[in-house]
Amino acid sequence: MKSPLAVVVLAAGAGTRMKSALPKVLHPVAGKPMLAHVLASVARLKPAKVVGVIAPGAKSVAKAFAPYPAAVQKRALGTGDAVKAALPALRGHSGPVLVVYGDSPLITTASLQRLLESCRKAGASVGVLGFVARDPSPYGRLIVNGGTLEKIVESKDANAGERAIDFVNSGVMCLDGARIAGLLGAIGNDNVKREFYLTDVVGIARARGLHAVAVEGPEAEFQGVNSRAELAAAERAMQQRLRSAAMAAGVTMIDPDTVWLSADTKLGNDVTIGPNVRFGPSVTVASGASILAFCDIEGVRIGKGARIGPFTRIRPGSDVGEDVHIGNFVELKATTIKRGAKANHFAYLGDSEIGAASNIGAGTIFVNYDGYGKYRTLLGDDVFIGSNSSLVAPVRIGKGANVTAGSVITEDVPAGALAFGRARQETKKGRAGPLRAKLQARAAAAKRQKGKK
């Protein structure tokens, strides 16, 4: 076998046990579809061709394969049949053909690379990724003899000696593109389910005097997903991989089991992450920033030394500058907040720019939506917004301006100006008592009324 490489990604499985309207391979792990993880691992091999195999009518899966083509497996007649469905798309390809699975999102490029290398070096027409299983009983056993993979024996067909073997088939294979059509064509369906099993190609190849090899990979990479419980297990395995990588790069996680990362989360060294932080897609956190407990963060660049949380929500399109503090019960959406600015408590900051060293009081709302359009709130540097204020967008507050607590701001405030929009306090001595008596009487009347009904 030699380059170029083709990859067949099997994604036609029904996924009945998922009990879902969503096709199985589109269920997300670490924030993106399982299939996207597999395609990402495959893409790093720089294949010349990638072909998906999908079930009839699975448009959303075909779309997830784009720009790669997807071949339709007309009936669910087994893995051998599924790969056959990809053959027309492979016409003329004579390099190696990898077969991988859209519902096994943990496969790594490194393992695939190792399989390819082993096949190339050994001149094997068939290569299989195997693993040493903690519990081999559900898997086909790999019968290896002096470096040659002789056959794959299904668990139910294994004799006592074969059953004792714990080196088993992952399903991931590499086939010689020049021979793939012949090998697949020889697979029979003389079995209970009347299906064509891809695993048979090993025995077929050997019977033709071709070489076959088995390459060991880690069991964790071959976890397939057929149920929600297995989906959760895959998510867990992926999260552990992401967390370990982050910690190795110098990130402190108080409790790694409660930090949920996305595949694309980027965390600098000496970033500290408290318990219970969820990172949605597209988050970058610079060195020395802290994300305290109970945060839900997505689509944001967070600068050096910034302090976020606890209880902060950040939504996409945001940019948090160096040394910015975002505190509890604060929501950011499509907001840029510059160096040293603070919004320490209770604030909705949407569609806005906040200048450096500005201070946003507790209870501030940027009123960005009027039922029809969304508008922007633009604050200069060194602005002070008093607590419980509403800034009705579109509105600009100039550099160094003050807005007093409890104001509704509907017009621009020039730099250096003071703005307010609130009623003056009135105090009525001795009037709490009569008011309370009235409220109490009203409550009693309401109670009586309820009783009557």
Preceding peptide of 414 cis, ω within 30°: no
- Give the nearer residue to a copy of itself in terms of CB position, either 145 or 449: 449
Residue 298: strand, helix, or coil: coil
Binding positions for a copy of itself, 136-195, rule CB under 8 A: none
Q: Say which residues have a Cβ less than 8 Å from residue 415's Cβ, sequence separation at least 6.
A: 380, 398, 399, 400, 401
Binding positions for a copy of itself, 14-53, rule CB under 8 A: 18-22, 27
Q: Say which residues have a Cβ less than 8 Å from residue 195's Cβ, sequence separation at least 6.
A: 77, 78, 79, 80, 81, 189
Binding positions for a copy of itself, 244-283, rule CB under 8 A: 244, 247-258, 260, 269-270, 274-276, 278
Q: How many residues belong to the site for a copy of itself (CB under 8 A)?
A: 105
Window of 46-54, 86-94, 140-148, 396-404 that interacts with a copy of itself by CB under 8 A: 396-404
- Give the nearer residue to a copy of itself in terms of CB position, either 284 or 390: 390
Minimum separation from the CB atom of position 187 to a copy of itself (A): 33
Quick check: 247 and 253 in contact, CB under 8 A?
yes
Whether 345 is catalytic is yes
Window of 4-12, 44-52, 57-65, 355-363 that interacts with a copy of itself by CB under 8 A: 355-363
**CA-based nearest residue to 81, from 249, 196, 235, 3:** 196
* Joined tokens for residue 446: 């309401």
CA–CA gap between residue 171 and residue 328 (Å, rounded): 48
Query: In the chain, what is the straight-line distance between the N-terminal and C-terminal CA atoms, in Å?
Result: 85
Minimum separation from the CB atom of position 109 to a copy of itself (A): 23
Binding-site member from 405, 448, 451, 452 for a copy of itself (CB under 8 A):
405
CA–CA gap between residue 200 and residue 173 (Å, rounded): 12
Binding positions for a copy of itself, 212-251, rule CB under 8 A: 227-229, 231-232, 235-236, 239, 244, 247-251
At CA 223, angle to CA 219 and CA 228, rounded to 5? Answer: 150
- Give the nearer residue to a copy of itself in terms of CB position, either 170 or 377: 377
Neighbour tally for 190: CB within 10 Å:
6
- Give the nearer residue to a copy of itself in terms of CB position, either 178 or 293: 293
Binding-site member from 200, 221, 323, 331 for a copy of itself (CB under 8 A):
331
* Joined tokens for residue 422: 């609130």
**CA-based nearest residue to 48, from 106, 80, 93:** 93
* Joined tokens for residue 334: 């499509």
List, in sequence order, every residue forming a beta bridge with 325; answer none if it has no partner.
307, 342
Binding-site member from 198, 348, 353, 380 for a copy of itself (CB under 8 A):
348
Minimum separation from the CB atom of position 106 to a copy of itself (A): 16
- Give the nearer residue to a copy of itself in terms of CB position, either 302 or 360: 360
- Give the nearer residue to a copy of itself in terms of CB position, either 207 or 417: 417
* Joined tokens for residue 255: 């409790």
Binding positions for a copy of itself, 432-451, rule CB under 8 A: 432-433, 435-436, 439-440, 442-443, 446-447
Minimum separation from the CB atom of position 34 to a copy of itself (A): 12
Window of 42-50, 129-137, 178-186, 354-362 that interacts with a copy of itself by CB under 8 A: 354-362
* Residues tagged active-site: 345
